[in-house]
Amino acid sequence: MFRRKPQPPTSVEWVIAGLGNPGPEYARTRHNVGFDLIDVLADKHRIKIDRAKHKARIGVGTIDGVGVALVKPLTFMNLSGQALAPILREYGVKPDHLVVIADELDFPVGKVRMKPKGGSAGHNGHKSIIHSLGTDEYPRIRIGIHSERRNETIDFVLSKFHPEERVDIDAAIRKAIAGIEMLVESGVERALNIVNEGD
């Protein structure tokens, strides 16, 4: 009787991290749009987020044959770098192969933008990552969460989307995922063309 050869562990080429806050009380809030994207991406590519390590939930698999680690830091937003720095070290991934997805308060709901590198733009998650990595040279995707109904910032970012906004956010997540798929397959320039098209 023939036995299947054990498959070698997936070699991770990209770390894809969605930022958010852990806990059911934060689920599907504006600040957790990065977590939402990771869940959709994992489901699409049948990657199980089944590892708990480095203060994060991690799933390892492939996108179009390229090894990836999908990450949801459990440190709370403002300490995201404490999770991502050791994960990059473990997988031997350089910052330019880290993609970070986070909410953007200055963009209207559903607007998506990708940058190959840059400063924090006042986002505390990016501040933490830049501090922990010692560089801001990593790609990032920003998904707009601003609403005309906005109130005080802290309460607002922890609020849930209105049903009509959720439609726009889900469309934004699909667009961002198309960019991520292009990024791991063909590089950052082609991904930028997809995500930033129309701006």
Active centre residues (catalytic): 31
Structure token pair of residue 55: 């203060």
75 contacts: CB under 8 Å, gap ≥ 6: 55, 56, 82, 83
Helix (H) or strand (E) holding 61: strand 56-63
Q: What distance in Å separates the CA atoms of residue 88 and residue 92, rounded to the nearest whole number?
A: 6
Burial classification of residue 3, based on how many CB atoms lie within 10 Å of its CB (0-12 exposed, 13-18 middle, 19 or more buried): exposed
Phi, psi of 161 (to 5 degrees): -75, 145
Q: C-alpha 61: how far from its chain's center?
A: 15
- DSSP-derived letter for residue 59 is E
Strand partners, 29: 160
